[in-house]
A and B are shown apart, each in its own frame.
Chain A
Amino acid sequence: MSGASIAGPRAPASRVRLGFALEPRPEPSRLMAWLSPVIAAAAIFVVGFALFSGLGKNPFAAFYVFFVKPVDSLYGVAELLLKASPLMLCAVGLAAGYRANVWNIGAEGQLTLGAVCGGGVALALQDQGGAWLLPAMLAAGVAGGMAWAAIPAWLKTRFNANEILVSLMLVYVAKLALSWLVHGPWRDPEGFNFPQSKMFADAALLPMLVPGTRLNAGFALALIVVGLLWVFTRRSLVGFQMRVAGLAPAAAAYAGISASRTVWLGMLIGGATAGLAGVGEAAGPIGQLLPSMSPGYGFAAIIVAFVGRLHPLGIVLASLLMSLLYLGGEAAQIGLALPSAITGLFQGLLLFFLLAADVFIDFRLRLRPRSAAARRSRRRPA
């Protein structure tokens, strides 16, 4: 800092105070980059512990109920993987965009559209059901998610409209569209007037993976997609170009990498995976269309993408942690008489802690002398 040199070595010792300052590292710390999510996760456990004590619960027992008991059985582990599937799907797609500086935050809407399109195919064709029905549903779900993501992509590339705000606005539109469908045209006539569609036929449901649990083939599908995107972002030329566009837009433009193609790809990949997650929920644990197809997976996936360092492997791990927060919230409601809304609280805190810890990737904390004169000189206009 320039101030320190102005004060000079002759500043009286009594006026020198020590202060912490962030000093840029010459190279970003790879160790910190991977340690920071671990620190954030640990901080969440600590906060959970403190919060449970503060709420007058036995912290050890509550901690056990929230973080351990949900996964102490095969069924529990299957539930963990079941909830992790849509999270990792959405997050890995979003991450491909985020790496390229394409900020799609509307995965929740793209997921909803995926469920609507895939579910629509199921409702329209399930009476003629066959082996082709499920693939057709999945394709429709992916197409629906991509179509919804194509709107912000087109408005961004053609009209320069901010993709963050457009994709977010479309979440509300998608949720209202689904609500209209299940309240109106697609309502189950024999559903006692509940806002829900008919139950899907067996041919329209994803096959089960583990007997005795609810884990279905959607989990395997999610892992395959994560693997494919890993290869795409790490090994393909287009994936490389997208990363360059994110790291150094000017260099990318100079190298002839099309900025609008980057936006289109970043958006469409996120839309496709979110759409798949949506149809996976409809054809998986839910088995029909309801007014809400997700407890905010599309938003939680944003956190998963960051906590997972925008890296496929990290995202798989982060989605497990996030899934545990969902399960813990449900368990806390039953076992601790705590509201399940506590999950949302933990989700937000997790991202806060991560962002705070991330500062040490590019900076280190240094104690350095700060003199009163230096402080003053920085405040006064020259």
Chain B
Amino acid sequence: MIDHVVTLVALTLAAGTPLVLAGAGELVTERSGVLNLGVEGMMLVGAVIAFIVAATTRSPWLGVAAGMLAAAGLSLVFAVLTLTLLANQVAAGLALSLFGVGLSAYVGLDYVSVVVEGIQPLAIPGVSDLPFFGKLLFAHSPFVYVSIALIALVQWFLFRTRAGLILRAIGESPDSAHAIGYPVIAIRYAAVLFGGACAGLAGAYLAVAYTPLWTEGMTAGRGWIALALVVFATWKPWRLLAGAYLFGAVTLAQFQAQAMGLAMPSQLLSMLPYVATVVVLTLISRDAATIRLNAPASLGRPYHPDV
């Protein structure tokens, strides 16, 4: 029974981690006032590049770095379109997702049945041998610790540093921030690139640690779920972490039900995470005032100092 609990916790954390990573990046991007709907595309490109590099160099960590770079590169395209060329952010984000799906399918074709040595869970020496708590807390994938540290970092940056305050100010009112003299566009560029790198890290985790393999469209909508989670979290990092693990648990429920011999078709169980996303999004949005109070006021609006 205790082993069972430990396994469940480990699987929940593992399933929630890509959402934490991608969500943390998108949260920072959105806090600067930019809505990047391309998370799914950036995750896929991060995943495929990480996998290809890991397969060819036999170094999964090099793959992770390459995946982050590739996704950040893709987010740069989005940044140029929306920040320099002032394109509609919704349209550009959709374009990024559609392009990412196509690009990753194209470059990943030769790697579909390739096997790589994935990044294994990291048993922290000393403490991981403790009874119960050792396995519960100290024997997860390194990405799990990285994602929790990332949330702590984002929380600290946004609410405890001057740079974070400036970024939030730009997200609330780019005009005022510009009038004071802050480089609105440059900071938004940085926020978009950070979001891209995080999405790439999330994709890389899926491709070289969680599964580890490459299949077309392997993110299966996690990028979109991460976007929904940012709203669910009302743009607060710690709530994002809680939401992501909630989803990890829902993803797990389908495997649990099958293991318990529940006579449900697998397709209907696979619907759970998507239905759950709709439900939580609806629950949190029901109170329009909460969303209005917490959403960055300039979210999704292009900014040009002369307009």
Does the CB pair B282–A161 fall under 8 Å?
yes
A302 at the B interface (CB under 8 A): yes
Shortest CB distance B87–A (Å):
4
Does the CB pair B98–A355 fall under 8 Å?
no
A123 at the B interface (CB under 8 A): no
Shortest CB distance A321–B (Å):
15
- Chain A, residues 171-183, CB within 8 Å of chain B (1/0): the string is 0110011011001
Does the CB pair A160–B285 fall under 8 Å?
yes
What number of B residues sit within 8 Å (CB to CB) of A?
56
Does the CB pair B103–A355 fall under 8 Å?
no
B121 at the A interface (CB under 8 A): no
Q: Among the listed stretches B179-187, B188-196, B243-251, which one makes contact with chain A, having 4 or more residues with CB under 8 Å of it?
A: B179-187
State A185–B225 Cα separation when bound (angstroms).
30
Q: Which of A24, A165, A300, A346 makes the CB contact (< 8 A) with B224?
A: A165
User: Could you tell me the dominant secondary structure of chain B's interface residues?
Assistant: helix
Shortest CB distance B278–A (Å):
5
Q: Among the listed stretches B11-19, B51-59, B143-151, B262-270, which one makes contact with chain A, having 4 or more residues with CB under 8 Å of it?
A: B262-270
Beta-carbon contacts under 8 Å, A275-310 to B: 299-300, 302-303, 306
**Nearest residue in A to B81 (C-beta to C-beta)?**
A355
B274 at the A interface (CB under 8 A): yes
Does the CB pair A351–B95 fall under 8 Å?
yes
State A299–B285 Cα separation when bound (angstroms).
26
- Chain B, residues 279-307, CB within 8 Å of chain A (1/0): the string is 00111011010010000000000001111
**With A303-B98, A356-B87 as given contacts, are A162 and B231 in contact (CB-CB < 8 Å)?**
yes
A168 at the B interface (CB under 8 A): yes
Does the CB pair A348–B102 fall under 8 Å?
yes
A133 at the B interface (CB under 8 A): no
A343: chain B residues within 8 A (beta carbon) = 102
B105 at the A interface (CB under 8 A): yes
State A303–B97 Cα separation when bound (angstroms).
12
Beta-carbon contacts under 8 Å, A2-20 to B: 2
**Nearest residue in B to A185 (C-beta to C-beta)?**
B265
Interface range, A side: 35 or more
Does the CB pair A103–B90 fall under 8 Å?
yes
Does the CB pair A352–B106 fall under 8 Å?
no
**With A176-B267, A179-B267 as given contacts, are A341 and B106 in contact (CB-CB < 8 Å)?**
yes
State A23–B228 Cα separation when bound (angstroms).
35
Does the CB pair A347–B220 fall under 8 Å?
no
Beta-carbon contacts under 8 Å, A174-227 to B: 176-177, 179-180, 183-184
Q: Among the listed stretches A64-72, A247-255, A311-319, A374-382, which one makes contact with chain B, having 4 or more residues with CB under 8 Å of it?
A: A374-382
Does the CB pair A380–B228 fall under 8 Å?
no
B111 at the A interface (CB under 8 A): no
Q: Which of A1, A159, A183 makes the CB contact (< 8 A) with B265?
A: A183
**With A345-B99, A348-B99 as given contacts, are A166 and B87 in contact (CB-CB < 8 Å)?**
no
State A317–B91 Cα separation when bound (angstroms).
20
B100 at the A interface (CB under 8 A): yes
Does the CB pair B86–A22 fall under 8 Å?
yes
A42 at the B interface (CB under 8 A): no
B28 at the A interface (CB under 8 A): no
Q: Among the listed stretches A85-93, A112-120, A358-366, which one makes contact with chain B, having 4 or more residues with CB under 8 Å of it?
A: A358-366
Does the CB pair B91–A306 fall under 8 Å?
yes
Does the CB pair A166–B281 fall under 8 Å?
yes
A169 at the B interface (CB under 8 A): yes
**Nearest residue in A to B228 (C-beta to C-beta)?**
A165
State A380–B183 Cα separation when bound (angstroms).
9
B90: chain A residues within 8 A (beta carbon) = 103, 164
Does the CB pair A358–B87 fall under 8 Å?
yes
Shortest CB distance B185–A (Å):
11
- Chain B, residues 35-60, CB within 8 Å of chain A (1/0): the string is 00100010000000000000000000
Does the CB pair B265–A169 fall under 8 Å?
no
B256 at the A interface (CB under 8 A): no
Does the CB pair B268–A176 fall under 8 Å?
yes
B109 at the A interface (CB under 8 A): yes
State A92–B183 Cα separation when bound (angstroms).
40
Does the CB pair B278–A169 fall under 8 Å?
yes
**With A155-B278, A184-B265, A351-B98 as given contacts, are A356 and B307 in contact (CB-CB < 8 Å)?**
no
Q: Which of B96, B99, B221 makes the CB contact (< 8 A) with A169?
A: B221
State A344–B98 Cα separation when bound (angstroms).
7
A342 at the B interface (CB under 8 A): yes
Question: What are some 25 contacts across the A-B interface (CB < 8 A)?
Answer: A1-B306, A2-B305, A151-B278, A155-B282, A160-B286, A161-B285, A165-B227, A165-B228, A165-B278, A170-B274, A172-B271, A184-B265, A300-B98, A302-B94, A302-B98, A339-B106, A342-B106, A343-B102, A344-B102, A345-B99, A348-B96, A351-B99, A355-B87, A355-B91, A359-B85
Residues of A within 8 A of B (CB): 1-2, 22-24, 103, 105, 151, 155, 159-162, 164-166, 168-170, 172-173, 176-177, 179-180, 183-184, 299-300, 302-303, 306, 339, 341-349, 351-352, 355-356, 358-359, 362-363, 377-382
Given contacts A161-B278, A351-B91, A379-B183, 5 further A-B contacts (CB under 8 A): A165-B227, A165-B281, A169-B275, A339-B105, A378-B181
